[in-house]
Amino acid sequence: MTTTTDFGPRTLDLDLAAETDRIVAMIRGYLTTHRRKGAVVALSGGIDSSVTAALCVAALGPGRVFGLHMPERASSPETISLSRSISDHFGFDSVVEDIATTLEAVGCYRRYDEAVRRVVPEYGEGWKSKIVLPSVVDDDALRLYSIVVEDPQGERSRHRLTIEAYLGIVAATNFKQRVRKMLEYHHADRLNYVTTGTPNRLEYDQGFFVKLGDGAADIKPIAHLYKTQVYALAEHLGVPEAVRTRPSTTDTYSLAQSQEEFYFSLPHHLMDLCLYGLNHDVPVDQVASATGLTAEQVERVYRDIEQKRRTTAYLHEPPVLVENVPEIHG
């Protein structure tokens, strides 16, 4: 453990070879215990799924890893080429499952548009949108979601969401992660493989996942790693540079949306330091010095982290029973 007196980006340094070995051992151990033959990885073209795939290849070999590319209407054009670069680079089989028709069939896009029209009645064909949060570091205001819409002429406007609109939008977009997970389990069942979850520590801690969507998985090999550490591991494992330098994106809305404007309050390298500082009781002035924030801004980020933990605790909860079933749970 690093002492707090030299707190800074180096605090998150890892012995990358040893960490790889530790994760590889976990993957092999789980598959052995549960008698599964390999791992399915849903590839988004982002850093987390790419590192997860690389770790599975390191643990199991490319012949026991199966990749899925699952674009839909809102996916950015480079997503599939980047995700294919991972399966090609690490040499494992993969298929494209275009989920747009499934999403259309369950009414994902229609329900989304209907929810947006609760606050922007003219929203429809040819419009684009994304939901955004205000910055947490600027003031103490409670962070309430707004929707940014762009009309067919390219004119943008921002509107605060009502609760019905907000919940309707979330419920509609959550279809995307859940349909993807359904297909992951299909292929896992077919191959007798496990499914993988790809959250990093920021995402796992802050509930940046859909319950029974991307939050569902048999193993989550990088959920304990800060995002800075995931990037370091990516380089160590040989993840192609185009993936390592891609800006973070949710790839969920029709307007391009960074993870910072959707959920996290700061770029990941600063969020990592704040989260580490909060987790390890690093004095606020040292976190402020390391991040270039004021102490007041760090305190705001801490409050936001703790609020998100409270808000998303439900996402981590397993189904609750009235009493323990000792024959199953011990």
Partner 1 sequence: MESQITQTLRAFITDNYLFGDRARLPADDASLLETGVIDSTGVLELIEFLESEYGFTVEDTETLPENLGSVAGLTRYVSAKQRQGAA
Interface residue list for partner 1 (CB under 8 A): 134, 140-145, 160-163, 166-167, 306-307, 310-311
* Residue 47, marked binder: yes
Name which of 106 and 144 has its Cβ closer to partner 1: 144
* Residue 48, marked binder: yes
Q: How far is the CB of 165 from partner 1 (least distance, A)?
A: 9
- Give the 3-state secondary structure of 175-213: HHHHHHHHHHHHHHHHHCCEEECCCCHHHHHCCCCCCCC
* Residue 198, marked binder: yes
Answer yes or no: are the C-beta atoms of 199 and 254 closer than 8 Å.
no
- The answer for 301, left when phi > 0, alpha when psi is -120 to 50, beta otherwise, is alpha
Name which of 95 and 141 has its Cβ closer to partner 1: 141
Q: How far is the CB of 262 from partner 1 (least distance, A)?
A: 13
Q: How far apart are CA 135 and CA 140, in angstroms?
A: 10
Q: How far is the CB of 312 from partner 1 (least distance, A)?
A: 9
Name which of 160 and 280 has its Cβ closer to partner 1: 160
* Residue 227, marked binder: yes
Q: How far is the CB of 311 from partner 1 (least distance, A)?
A: 4
Q: Which residues of 61-92 are buried (b: 16+ CB within 10 A; e: fewer)?
A: ebebbbbbbbbbebbeeebbebbbbbbebbeb
DSSP type of residue 46: S
* Residue 197, marked binder: no
Q: Which residues are annotated as a binding site?
A: 42-49, 178, 198, 203, 211, 218, 227, 249
Q: Which residues are annotated as a binding site for deamido-NAD(+)?
A: 178, 211, 218
